[in-house]
Amino acid sequence: MSMYRSLNLVMLGPPGSGKGTQAKFLSERYRIPHVSTGDMLREEVRNRTTLGLKAKEIMDQGGLVSDEIVSAMILKRLDQEDCARGVILDGYPRTVEQAHVLDGILAELGRALERVILVDVPDEEIVRRLGGRRSCPKCGKVYHLIYSPPADGVHCDVCGIELVQRDDDKEEVIRQRLIQYHEKTQPLVELYEQRGLLVEIDGSQDMEAVTAAIVDAIGASADQ
Ligand code: AP5
């Protein structure tokens, strides 16, 4: 980390590819905040805010919340003190429009993206991953019933509370989220590739191997 004045990363990839899981590891390793628009929106839903109620309807159908809403959230979040040394963006940007807004926000802050990490996983594996995902309603820790199960198979290891399944992890909603990804988010792969920022990681490896590949790519970028 010391070789960077600030480290600004984007995690890109289909739903369930492991972006959130990896972002949490990276956040600890580089000591920069993990900023997930999905988590921020779910927090609004939990707090039953007007924005949350509007967003829930869209999220439960696998659609995308409006660019204006998520970009306003990100603008506010990136301006906070703890993001000064960098940030790991997870789930944002998700459309070409959002990518342009992000360019503007970063330019205003006098910063730029160092790397865009594409965690890629084939669609068939996505359905298996998301079907087994469970999370703690209290601390948000994410598990997988087969790949990273809680000790007793049912409760959060940290809080002891029964784990829950996300409302949008039903098979028909997952399929819709995949359609949205291919249609609206995949164009960003090319956009960032053209800018020379993209690193493509095989997300179908086990979690440790994925982390190692990402850390390697971030480290290597410092030498360029
Ligand atoms: P969001 O929360 O961003 O969902 P997503 O992109 O669909 O991503 P997920 O959180 O489902 O998956 P992930 O890649 O983080 O995988 P995870 O690490 O959990 O967005 C939700 C909704 O909010 C959107 O549909 C949209 O409506 C709205 N929204 C959010 N941002 C928006 C934006 N910018 N614009 C508009 N709308 C927006 O891993 C998945 C599972 O696999 C877990 O169980 C995990 O334990 C397991 N796992 C992870 N890695 C591995 C591995 N290597 N091997 C085996 N299992 C693994």
Residues belonging to the active site: 19, 94, 133, 166, 177
| Sheet with strand 34-36: strands edge to edge | 34-36, 86-90, 7-12, 115-120, 198-202
Q: Ligand 1: which atom is nearest the Cα of residue 177?
A: 25
| Pocket lining: 43 vs ligand 1, CB cutoff 6 Å | no
The domain defined by 7-122+181-222 folds into: Rossmann fold (3.40.50)
Question: For atom 50 of ligand 1, which residue has the closest CA?
Answer: 18
Hey, where are the domains in the chain? 7-122+181-222
Environment class of residue 104 by beta-carbon count within 10 Å: exposed (0-12), middle (13-18) or buried (19+)? exposed
Transcribe 122-167 into DSSP letters: -HHHHHHHHHTEEE-TTT--EEETTTB--TTSSB-TTT-PBPB--T
Would you say the CB of residue 17 lies under 6 angstroms from ligand 1? yes
pTM (two decimals): 0.94
* Cα distance between residue 114 and residue 199, in whole Å: 11
Q: How would you label 171-191 residue by residue, b for 16+ Cβ within 10 Å and e otherwise?
A: eebbebbbebbeebbeebbeb
133 and 163 in contact (C-beta within 8 Å)?
no
Q: Is the CB of 14 under 6 A from ligand 1?
A: no
Would you say residue 55 has pLDDT above 50? yes
pLDDT value for 4: 61
Name the residue type at position 141.
K
C-alpha to C-alpha distance for 222 and 114, rounded to whole angstroms: 9
Q: How many residues does the chain have?
A: 224
State the Cα–Cα distance between residues 172 and 170, nearest whole angstrom. 6
Ligand 1 neighbour 21 (Cβ under 6 A): yes
> Is residue 81 exposed (0-12), middle (13-18) or buried (19+ Cβ within 10 Å)?
exposed
Q: Which atom of ligand 1 is nearest to the CA of 119?
A: 14
Q: Residues 104-155: pLDDT tens digits?
A: 999 998 999 999 999 999 999 999 899 999 999 999 999 999 999 999 999 9
Higher pLDDT, 115 or 220: 115
pLDDT digits (tens, 9 = 90+) for 1-33: 445 678 999 999 999 999 999 999 999 999 999
Ligand 1 atom nearest 133 alpha carbon = 44
Copy the structure tokens of residue 217.
């790519």
